[in-house]
Structure 1
Amino acid sequence: MPKVNPLILRWARETAGLSVEDAADKLGIGDARGVAGIDRLAMLEDGQVEPTRPQLIKMSTQYRRPLLTFYLAEPPVTAARGEDFRTLPDEYARRDAALVDTLLREVRARQEMVRSLLESEEEAEPLDFVASYDIRRGAEGLATVISERLGFSLQSFRSSNGRGTPKGFAYLRERAEAAGIFVLLIGNLGSHHSALNVELFRGFALSDKVAPFVVINDQDSEQAWSFTLLHELAHIWLGQTGVSGGRPTSDIETFCNDVAGRILLPSAEIAGEVALRGARQDVVIARIGEIAELRQISHSMVAYKLYREGIIDQAIWSSVTAVFRQQWLNNKAAQRARARENEGGPSYYLVRRHRLGNRLLRLSKRMLADGALSPSKAAAILGVKPNNVFSLTDGVA
């Protein structure tokens, strides 16, 4: 058996977003012969001790790396995340960035498998809208182009019915998937312990002519998903692969936000809100709530739109956004408390289908039936265990 480069061990742990302490715990490396578990792992990473095969298998599982990775001569180059459209707060550490890199790497691999599958089955029809728009044509123009291509109806968005999802989002997602885009909801790396804060990652787009992917952080409020989806669709039309965060400080992020805002809340609908200029914060908050509830959109999105239209100033926008953020955090905490008290809840398969989206599930189900996709490869594409594949896809119409 070839020797393992200890640099690989350290690289695999760090890019999985784990500290030495967390990794030792997950790997089951405890204290032994007077040596602490974290020191034993450090000795492996320093090359003082050669890892056993069982240890490498555990690392493969916990670090989310193929076993063969540990026998490479050198650590591979970190997978590119595309353009990084975020401006992150100082408090987000290297571990947080590593978690996003891990998620991006996993979704990229799934996207590549989907594209290869479509190509091998001669179903790889290039989508002409990907990378078709020049930003110099303006946000209003792109909002119109996206709406027309999706066949998006604002009336349908506001009145459609969905189960277990925001009404408008279910409709918008269906239109995006019908156009050929895979839309996934992912907010962690498999457990609530690896949840990704929306300030760190709100969504990302993987621009591709055959299999474009959009991922939305489902840790965000459900009412915000539609805005994020349209924001990432703007990146797809611009041909940009990259990750977006919660603070739009760059020109491109402002542009994509403006596109989404024009689609979900046309300027004409809030032109009459001039009474909010100079109004007290509580008055602004109450009116934003009314606008948001009527139109199936988030309070923060309405606040942003009012700010961009010059109806409220930056100070009031920042203050009401902070209020809405705290309200959402409080509501989420209350929901978690209720969930702990109540037994049952949605089934694993129902939740998983919702996160994966119908386009990816239907493709996998059809390719499984045709024999073009093995259960193990379908499991990799869907991000589940092989023994869950058929139960998951059998419930898809």
Structure 2
Amino acid sequence: MGKANPTILKWARETSGLSLEEAARKLSLGGKSISGAEALQAFEAGEKSPTRRQLMNMAKQYHRPFITFFLPAPPKSASMGEDFRRLPDAKREEHEGNVNALVRDIYIRQSLVKDALIDSEEDETVEFIGMGRAMPSIDEACRAIRDYFEIDIEVYRRKPNAHDAFNYLRALVEEKGIYVLLIGDLGSHHSSISTDAFRGFALSDPIAPFVVINQNDSKPAWCFTLLHEVAHLWLGKTGISAQTHEHLVERYCNDVASHLLITLDEVRQLFSDAQRSDEAFVSALQREASSLNISASLVAYRLFRSHLIDQGRWEQTSEELRELWLNSKSIRRSENSGSSGNFYNTQRHRAGGALIGLVRRSLHDGVLTETKAGRVLGVSPGNVAEMVGL
């Protein structure tokens, strides 16, 4: 196979978001006579060649196929669509390597799904994609989305918790041919991606549209993000979203998702009830929002957008709510430290019923191999049969 291309080695490291020092540490390079960074720099300068084992480790740490290192030039990067985020440079640099790797993974999964649909002659066009390109009023958008998916907000609110409410919305969306996945890392918690850098991703393909939600977010936030990304699909906009509202399209999709979940009159009433409560405002807001299976952050955003609170109070409230969520998440993690749950149930929920069903049919009909099926589901080939129930 020859020697690895030094230019590719440097490109792969840089696009994974790692400095020389960080990459050398992850690769366990260096020794008494030379530092890890110096050893890696020698590889990238073509002064020395890494061993096969070292290249295999690079492939793992850089999230690139092994064969990539032997290409004559860096491949063209797959577009992540529009970047609807507005991130500080430091935050972008911290997470961009993992985010780019995640987007590449989503595109690969979606491509395999699309091919499977075509080979199985299940490649029906999802007419919903791009129906709202003209960006009509928020009310018109809500009505169109609500009618298309037959969303009953009262049924949603009667669900016992936000997890079940999300499953209700997800089932309606997947029934229309849209795949909804929960992904928040690159295969392990060590590569976990913050919601500050990635909250959701919409891939607006007319045959195999994908919505990806950061599983690290709160469950009430999953519901909002699902509807937010669905709004992206309705606009025909492929792209990545985070917790920002400055971008015109992001603000539009935020408004659509929030109006689907709660009306302005309900926002006003909830605000009044929270203000009159004996509890601290943020705690009361959270309690009232939870009763509707929505996040208090969503309500705070609507209060701001409706001019019931100013931007300063909205930002302060959002920060306090985030601290409450992080604290409760830490407590739950400590309480559940001895139990990781059932692997297959967890992976099934992350993949979603629509994807599980397609993979099961495709395996049965010989359209997908177990290797490709594992790629689609994000598990090793040996776990595929058990995961899809074959």
Provide TM-score, normalisation by structure 1. 0.92
- Cα deviation for residue 65 of structure 1 reads 1.7
- Cα deviation for residue 161 of structure 1 reads 5.2
Structure 2 counterpart of 1:348: 343
Structure 2 counterpart of 1:80: 79
Deviations 1:188-246 (A, max 9, x none): 11122211111111111011000111111111111111001100000000000001111
- Cα deviation for residue 147 of structure 1 reads 1.0
In the alignment, is residue 29 of structure 1 matched against residue 29 of structure 2? yes
Deviations 1:10-29 (A, max 9, x none): 11122223333333343343
Distance 1:371 1:233, change over 3 A: same
In the alignment, is residue 368 of structure 1 matched against residue 359 of structure 2? no
In the alignment, is residue 393 of structure 1 matched against residue 388 of structure 2? yes
In the alignment, is residue 185 of structure 1 matched against residue 185 of structure 2? no
Structure 2 counterpart of 1:19: 19
Name the aligned partner's letter for residue 389 of structure 1: V
Q: For this pair of structures, how many residues does the alignment match? A: 390
CA contact (8 A) 2:8 2:71 kept: yes
- Cα deviation for residue 67 of structure 1 reads 2.0
1:264 to 261, 280, 285: 261
Distance 1:339 1:290, change over 3 A: closer
Unpaired runs of 5+ residues, structure 2, are none
Aligned runs of 1:155-166 on 2, under 5 Å? 155-160=154-159, 166=163
CA contact (8 A) 1:182 1:359 kept: yes
Structure 2 counterpart of 1:327: 324
Structure 2 counterpart of 1:43: 42
Name the aligned partner's letter for residue 227 of structure 1: F
- Cα deviation for residue 64 of structure 1 reads 2.1
- Cα deviation for residue 137 of structure 1 reads 1.3
- Cα deviation for residue 135 of structure 1 reads 4.0
Structure 2 counterpart of 1:358: 353
Unpaired runs of 5+ residues, structure 1, are none
| Separation in structure 1 between the aligned mates of residue 385 and residue 281 of structure 2, nearest angstrom | 50
| Separation in structure 2 between the aligned mates of residue 135 and residue 56 of structure 1, nearest angstrom | 49
- Cα deviation for residue 318 of structure 1 reads 1.4
Identity %: 41
Structure 2 counterpart of 1:92: 91
2:225 to 218, 225, 228: 228
Segment drifting more, 5-14 vs 99-108:
5-14
| Separation in structure 2 between the aligned mates of residue 43 and residue 382 of structure 1, nearest angstrom | 38
In the alignment, is residue 125 of structure 1 matched against residue 124 of structure 2? yes
| Separation in structure 1 between the aligned mates of residue 178 and residue 367 of structure 2, nearest angstrom | 21
Distance 1:146 1:172, change over 3 A: same
Distance 1:282 1:250, change over 3 A: farther
Q: Secondary structure at the match of 1:270?
A: helix
Name the aligned partner's letter for residue 80 of structure 1: S
| Separation in structure 1 between the aligned mates of residue 328 and residue 271 of structure 2, nearest angstrom | 30
CA contact (8 A) 1:276 1:311 kept: no
- Cα deviation for residue 93 of structure 1 reads 4.5
Question: Alignment RMSD, CA only?
Answer: 2.2
Distance 1:30 1:305, change over 3 A: same
CA contact (8 A) 1:291 1:302 kept: no
| Separation in structure 2 between the aligned mates of residue 95 and residue 324 of structure 1, nearest angstrom | 23
Segment drifting more, 92-101 vs 296-305:
92-101
CA contact (8 A) 2:132 2:234 kept: yes
| Separation in structure 1 between the aligned mates of residue 260 and residue 270 of structure 2, nearest angstrom | 18
Provide TM-score, normalisation by structure 2. 0.94
- Cα deviation for residue 372 of structure 1 reads 1.6
